[in-house]
Structure 1
Amino acid sequence: MANWSDPRPTAAPFGVAAGTRSDAYDAGLRSYMLSVYNYMISAVLLTGIVSLSVAYTGMWRMLVSPTGGMSGLGMLFAFSPLAIVFAMSFGANRMSSTTLQALFWAYAALLGVSLSTIFIAYTASSVAGAFFATAAGFAGLSLYGYTTQRSLGAMGTFLIVGLVGLIVASLLNLWLQSGPLGLVISIVGVLIFAGLTAYDTQRIKSMYSHVAGTPAEGHTKIMSALSLYLDFINMFLFVLRLFGSSRN
């Protein structure tokens, strides 16, 4: 009987010619990665559709208080996605695949509501340009992460530390409101999420050998798609901040 839990892509099952196991592994890996990308791309499209709908129907006004800043409803939509991410990250093992998928789609939709204001702050051509530039960059970086034989583990550790620093600097700049610091944050943000795109792709690819054919495979696909989705969205936002043209 085939030992499909064997993570070695070149290991052949008992009584099967060498190379057959590798072919099955490669086919399974391609199907696995395609499923991850399908989830991720569908979530990006859902976010975009919701953002456009909220922006161009005028519903975005409910997110802004009369005195400026976020309204109570705006804060609810801003922090709900964060709560969902924490729930998915720390509770995934206790959830069914159906629940995890529902939270994933809910996250993408709620984030779309929050991001609707970018269509008010930036011109439509700027948003479109930033989106397609990010899509092209993401595709190239993810392809590199998938195909490279070089381990990106050390780079991943460095990027995660840099991400923590980026979050701290961003929170600090909410108080300082420094233009030069904001520019530096945007540049560093693009570089960090560009690197994370390649790193996460390689990490997701390597995880397949551990979850293939197990109950954890469905959960891993969704969480992997979430990682790539967050890389894409954050890279897009930093690119937009760098090169976007304001409506004001």
Structure 2
Amino acid sequence: MNDNVIYTRSDAGLNRFFAKVYSLVGMGIGLSALVSAMMLYMFPDNMIAIMTNQPWIYYGATFLELALVFVASSSARKNTPAALPIFLVYSALNGFTLSFILASYAQATVLQAFVSSALVFFVMAIIGAVTKRDLSGMSKALMAGLIGILIASLVNLFIGSGGMSFIISIISVLIFSGLIAYDNQLIKRVYDSQGGRMVNGWAISMALSLYLDFINLFLSLLRIFARND
């Protein structure tokens, strides 16, 4: 990774920075989709063997990817050469764990959720990029709501309420849609605050946030669309 990439403070420079961020988002989502597809269609027997005989592999991968999120975020903020490889490893590992979730749903439902997520992401990204309204205040409410749904999700693991799960999914869609808009505005604010001198670490950090927004939006919509499956 070239740690000394600098973008000129101008509309053209901002556009190049957006392009860099979204190229990384695309790489992350594409890698996750590729790994998930390989697991689902090339190694289904291995997936069954893992869940029936060696579930620790799946749970170990889940805990590892949680750790990698923090490591990738820290590396990106420090602009270290390891930031990009860690982000890509995390994306691939997330594709592995996602494959076990996607195996529980009909292919048509997964496709519907993915297309819907892409459309929502596109719309909210444009809103965040062009709006003149400061979304910082909204971000605080969204983060508070995110903490709330995490707590509610943990509680529902023990309750097992389908109705509560549905409500959590709807609220999650609203929260992550808002975060997509905020994170896109944040790209512009960070660019301006740095005077256009943007090293790759910033691009990776922004891409990681948007990647997480998209994946969580996709999973929330998947649960909503699959309610009647």
TM-score (norm 2): 0.90
Q: What does residue range 179-198 of structure 1 map to in structure 2 within 5 Å?
A: 179-198=162-181
When residues 61 and 144 of structure 1 are mapped into structure 2, their CA distance, relative to the original with a 3 A threshold, is same
Partner residue of 1:35?
20
Q: What does residue range 1-248 of structure 1 map to in structure 2 within 5 Å?
A: 25-56=10-41, 57-58=43-44, 59-66=46-53, 71-94=55-78, 96=80, 98-211=81-194, 214=197, 217-244=199-226
* Residue 213 of structure 1: how far off its partner (Å): 5.5
Between 1:114-123 and 1:33-42, the stretch displaced more is 114-123
Give the conservation status (yes or no) of the 8 Å contact 1:123–1:245: no
Q: Per the alignment, in what secondary structure is the counterpart of residue 219 of structure 2? A: helix
Q: Which amino acid aligns with 2:32?
A: T
Structure 2 unmatched ranges of 5 or more: 1-7
Q: Which amino acid aligns with 1:141?
A: M
Q: Per the alignment, in what secondary structure is the counterpart of residue 149 of structure 1? A: coil
* Residue 233 of structure 1: how far off its partner (Å): 0.4
Q: Per the alignment, in what secondary structure is the counterpart of residue 65 of structure 1? A: helix
Root mean square deviation, CA, Å: 1.8
CA offsets 1:101-131 (integer angstroms, 9 cap, x no match): 0000000000000000233211111101100
CA distance in 1, matches of 2:161, 2:141: 26
CA distance in 1, matches of 2:178, 2:134: 13
CA distance in 2, matches of 1:144, 1:95: 28
CA distance in 2, matches of 1:102, 1:174: 33
Partner residue of 2:5?
none
CA distance in 2, matches of 1:90, 1:218: 13
CA distance in 2, matches of 1:165, 1:88: 25
Give the conservation status (yes or no) of the 8 Å contact 2:129–2:185: yes
When residues 212 and 36 of structure 1 are mapped into structure 2, their CA distance, relative to the original with a 3 A threshold, is farther
